[in-house]
Amino acid sequence: MGPTDQQGAGNGNSDLAIRTAAPIAAEEGKTNDAAPTHETRSSTSNNSRAVGEVLDVSETSSSEELGDAEKGKQSAPPYTPTEVGEVNPFGHEDENAEMKYQTMSWWQVGLLMVAENISLGVLSLPNAVATIGLVPGIILTIFFGLMAMYCGYVVGQFFNKYPSTHTFADAAYLMGGPIAREIMGVAQVLIIIFIMGAHVLSFSIALNVLTGHGTCTIVFGFVGFAVCLALALKRQLEKVSYLSIASCLSVVVCVLVAMIDIAIIRPEYGQAVAAQQHVSLQNGMLATLQIILAFSGHHAFFTFCAELRDPRDFTKSVVFMEGMATIFYVIVGVVIYIYAGPDVLSPALGSASPLVSKIAFGLALPTIVIAGVVNGHVACKYIWVRMWRNQPARLHQKYGASLISWIAICTVLWVIAWIIAEAIPSFSLLISLISALFCSWFSFGFSGFLWLYMNRGRWAESWKKMLLTALNVYVVIQGAVICGLGLYASGEALAEGAQGSAFSCADNSG
């Protein structure tokens, strides 16, 4: 059914029952798969407003707050956003589709987000706290946790209003056109490849610890690449979400084991400092970047929304993940620093006794691998969807060109990630560089632009709106400052040769 048929059938009251990221509860016995394009959006927006206004991200979080035309109805309207461009790329699913993607519940997305976020970041937090002190460490962790929660909330609201935004690149296209989409697409793929590289590097560190540097570190890195690639070949995020359960258990257990051991041996107990007095801008910023990376999962949030059964549930996932992460990060960062002292290693598992360190790294292997796989899936899915978006049947095809292209994309991206891991063998420096270049914007900057775009023309309509406008302008400035100072600090460290030797067989676990 095309737009013309849609207008004729609806007589001005059509709910534009477009397939989006969630199953649509259309009128009993009726569905409509039409998807208006950007060109037809203006002509259909009046009709779609009859369904009810999309949530005003600035003033409400209730999915039952409707527009004037819906007042008086007995139940909430079907999930139909008001201002859409293209439909969600997975919005063409039907009962006969070979592969379906819009299948996840909010708790499955929450587990994916936990697996994606609570992994490498937590292993570097004690070192960050040691650099700046207990009080600044706690304050910054809680502050960035709250900011990450708000920014994630904005991403979810933007997707609900514009369900064509499968990635940040799609959001950039909506706001700035084709050039903005390409710039953002490249940036999103790059951040994820760097994170994938950090996971490959962590895998080589873990094997060096477990084997006592049993062979060349390059070999261990290649093994990590092969394992991650093998697990990355599933195309549905729902399938990957089941791996996330193992990842969550892995990171919690391994960190607890290391914390208990470090607390028992107490090598430096009593040397914790409330606030370090003489911290250079470079070292302070590098420590801050390590904290920022712990909340760096936002680049994947649009993709998670697109495979939810009901994207309105995304707020639950964000609150669940960010709340759990912030509490966990504060406990881990503070406790390990207090007992391990100012020389705590990054990753922090290396500060445990030799035997327990091996046990902890062994327990950490699932989260090291699976968190990398979740991130890698998002980058591969972006490229793959861009390749087949104009051929929806290919997206739901199980075999043939669809499968071959997926395998090829995964292989190329994981090879690049392995090369990055070998080129920058310092764990702390690699994650600081990632934070400066990308996390500053994807997690703590771009959401300000999203909110300002959604609320254009309304920035000063009330005192509450003006406060929210000021908050989101601050979010944009915050991203720019983190990026600028972070690049300075990371660049200085690279210039000083702090990264170690590239493509070296040397043990990198110390």
pLDDT tens digits, residue range 272-302? Answer: 788 888 888 888 888 888 888 788 889 889 9
Residue-wise pLDDT for 430-441, tens only, equals 666 777 777 788
Structure tokens given for 392: 């929806």
Q: Are 102 and 305 in contact (CB under 8 A)?
A: no
Q: So what's the pLDDT on residue 53?
A: 35
What span, in angstroms and rounded, lies between the C-alpha atoms of 68 and 73?
10
Residue-wise pLDDT for 324-364, tens only, equals 999 999 998 988 888 888 888 777 777 888 888 889 888 98
Q: So what's the pLDDT on residue 280?
A: 86
Pick from 86, 98, 156, 146: which is nearest to 389 by CA?
86
For the chain, domain boundaries: 1-49+60-80, 106-495
pTM as predicted: 0.74
Q: How confident is the model at residue 270 (pLDDT cuts 50, 70, 90)?
A: low
Q: So what's the pLDDT on residue 27?
A: 36
pLDDT > 90: what percent of the chain? Answer: 30
Residue-wise pLDDT for 410-422, tens only, equals 999 999 999 988 8
Half-sphere exposure of 341 (CA within 13 A, CB side): 10
Report whether pLDDT(40) > 50.
no
Average pLDDT over residues 170-197: 90
Q: So what's the pLDDT on residue 499?
A: 56
Q: Which CATH architecture has domain 106-495?
A: Orthogonal Bundle (1.10)
Q: Are 87 and 78 in contact (CB under 8 A)?
A: no
Structure tokens given for 473: 């302008």
Report whether pLDDT(8) > 70.
no
Length of the chain: 510
Residue-wise pLDDT for 120-170, tens only, equals 668 778 888 999 999 999 999 999 999 999 999 999 999 999 988 989 999
Q: How confident is the model at residue 78 (pLDDT cuts 50, 70, 90)?
A: very low
Q: So what's the pLDDT on residue 263?
A: 84
Reduced to 3 states (helix: H, G, I; strand: E, B; else coil), residue 474 is helix
Report whether pLDDT(175) > 70.
yes
Report whether pLDDT(484) > 60.
yes
Average pLDDT over residues 298-308: 89
Q: What is the mean pLDDT of the chain?
A: 78
Q: So what's the pLDDT on residue 497?
A: 59
CB under 8 Å to 140, separation ≥6 — which residues? 132, 288, 291
Crossing angle between the packed helical segments 427-434 and 463-495, to the nearest 10 degrees: 140
Average pLDDT over residues 230-255: 86
- For the chain, what is the radius of gyration of the CA atoms? 23
Q: How confident is the model at residue 226 (pLDDT cuts 50, 70, 90)?
A: very high
Q: Are 77 and 35 in contact (CB under 8 A)?
A: no
Q: So what's the pLDDT on residue 281?
A: 85
Query: Which residues is 104 bridged to in the sheet?
Result: 308
| Helices assigned H by DSSP within 162-177 | 168-176
